[in-house]
Amino acid sequence: MQTTRFALFGAGFWARYQLAGWLELPGLACSAICDRIQSRAEELARRFGVPATYGDPERLLDEVPVDFVDICTPVETHADLVLLAARRGRPVVCQKPMARSRSEAQRMVEACRQAGVPFLVNENWRWQAPIRALKRVLEEGDTGRVFRARISMVSGFPVFVNQPFLRELEHFILMDMGSHLLDTARFLFGEAVSLYCQTQRVHSDIRGEDVATVMLRTQDRATVSIEMGYAENYLERECFPQTLIFVEGTKGSAELAPDYWLRVTTASGTHARRVPPRRYPWVDPAYEVVQSSIVPCQANLLAALRGEARAETTGEDNLRTVRLVFAAYESAAADQVIRL
């Protein structure tokens, strides 16, 4: 197998796990790491045996031949880096959230389209083992047509400890967690035709919202409520970072419950099984189900870059998630339903 080579832009908290995920895949090598704080890139490169580091992305692309770039930097840098890669004819994998606005996201997608380069989004949430198992249950049809569902990611976990920059974001939980959960809702239940959202800020020392509730109406006439919260309040059972989901269908129900239990109830009774994530030695146990999902997500993206499969989370597809995120902010600000 010919080795596929890539450059990683960004060396922050998530970059180490994203890089570890890539290196689980055969025939893949990281040729260089770029970070505006070059010492941070050098530290990550030493840990993973990456041969080159840069502080300037243009210089990296001038000097290092790579088959694609992986952008794992703050959202405000995404557009410039995507456009730079597109001008150089390099395929792009970009971390979520894709962009700071719908127009910026559209510009990024259009630039890659005009340059003729693939643009993929590293949206791993839908690749979690329990969520994929739930998807298969819904596709098998034993629970019938879905008419209502609830997705919940509500946590007292001190998320600001590992990612203190989140305190400074003007748009917080809907951009951060909402990008994941709204994409998951699309993956499980299809596209939305309307949306209503309410937000709150419980922490007094942050700029953005840390609690949000979104209700979607889908093309298939399902009502989907999505609860997300980083209020850091006290919960009887802390499930971070598990996503809990309850689905009601015309013939039964399905539930993703704590500790990766999947329960399916129909006329024949309740059938339960655990669907835990695959364990990798580099995964932080506090983020296990999320970080382990990086590998199948990136396997899908790599197969697409090699022309072997269709990528699920292209830039074009993720534009629909971006639209939902900013429609949620619009709804919350106006206190009204947004027609999509």
* Global confidence as pTM: 0.96
Task: Read off the pLDDT band of 140 (50, 70, 90).
Answer: very high
Contact 233, 210 (CB under 8 A): no
Which amino acid type is present at position 329? Y
**Peptide bond preceding 296 in cis form (omega within 30 of 0):** no
Contact 31, 7 (CB under 8 A): yes
Task: Report pLDDT digits (tens) over 224-268.
Answer: 999 999 998 888 788 999 999 999 999 999 999 999 999 999 999
For the chain, list the domains and their CATH numbers. Answer: 4-122 (3.40.50.720), 126-289+315-339 (3.30.360.10)
For tokens 């559209």, the residue is 106
User: What secondary structure letter does DSSP report for 314?
Assistant: B
What's the mean per-residue pLDDT of the chain?
Answer: 97
Q: What's the pLDDT at 126?
A: 98
Which is nearest to 100 in space by CA: 45, 147, 170?
170
